[in-house]
Structure 1
C-alpha cells in the first residue's frame, strides 16, 4: 500500500489532474500527471489508481491489478519529481498483463512525460 501522504483521495484532486494534466498512453495504461504549484515547499508525489468495471467485471481481478500497479509505484516513487499528482488508468488489455510488463510500461510513460529525476 502507498503511504497516505502519497495518495490522491478526493474526487476534485482527480478532476484537477484530468483537466490540467499531461497524458501518455501505452497498450495497458493511461498516465496523467499534473505539477501542483505549491509555492516554495516541496511536497511528495501523490498517486491515484483507477480501474473501472470496463476493465473487468469482477472486483477480485480489478483489485489484483491495483495491487500490481501500487507495487510498481512503490518502486518508482523515490525517483518521481516532487509536487506531482499522478492518475493511472488501466485499460481492459491490462487483465492479461504481468507485473513486469506493468512496471516497464510505467517507467516508459514516466520517462515520456519527463517526470523522473534526471529529466528536465
Structure 2
C-alpha cells in the first residue's frame, strides 16, 4: 500500500530542508525528522498555526513523508525494501491523524533489520515519535 503521490516527499531539496531545519526525535529503530509548516503572512500565521497551517498560496498543503534507509541497515535490498514497505503501510494508515503541512522524514536505524520485530512494534514507535513531535491533529 503506497502513499498517495501528494503525500510523498521526493526532491533532494525537500529532504535537505527537513534535515537542516527540522526537529529530531529518536526511538530504538527510527529517527523522525519533522519540519513544521510555514506561513507566508506572519501576523495571520501566529493565530492560525496551531489549527490550520498555510502554504505560500494561502491554502492547506498535504503532509509529505519520506523514508530514508541506507545500506548500513542491510546490504540486501530485499531486506531494506521489506522494512520500507512496512513503514509505508503504517504511515498510510496514520495519514488521516496527521496535521496538514508537515514535511517528515523517517530514518531507519540498523537495529530495525537486526531485530525480527513485527509491524506492531514499528507502529507503536512511529506513533510515539509523531506524538513527541506534535504532528498529530490535536497533538494526541
State the TM bucket, normalised to the shorter chain. Answer: over 0.9
- Secondary structure at the counterpart of residue 87 of structure 1: strand
Distance in 1 between the 2:16 and 2:29 partners? 21
1:59 paired residue number: 77
Task: Give how far 1:60 is off.
Answer: 0.1
**TM-score of the pair, normalised by structure 2:** 0.83
Between Structure 1 and Structure 2, how many residues are aligned? 120
Question: How many Å separate the matches in 1 of 2:80 and 2:5?
Answer: 21
Instruction: Could you list the structure 1 runs, at least 4 aligned residues long, displaced by more than 4 angstroms after superposition.
Output: none
Q: Give TM-score, length-normalised by structure 1.
A: 0.96
Structure 1 range deviating more: 92-101 or 81-90: 92-101
Structure 2 stretches lacking a partner, 5+ long:
39-54
- Secondary structure of residue in 2 paired with 1:118: helix
Q: Structure 1 regions of 5+ residues with no counterpart?
A: none
Tell me the equivalent position of 2:45: none
Give the 5 Å matches for 1:35-54: 35-37=36-38, 38-39=55-56, 40-54=58-72
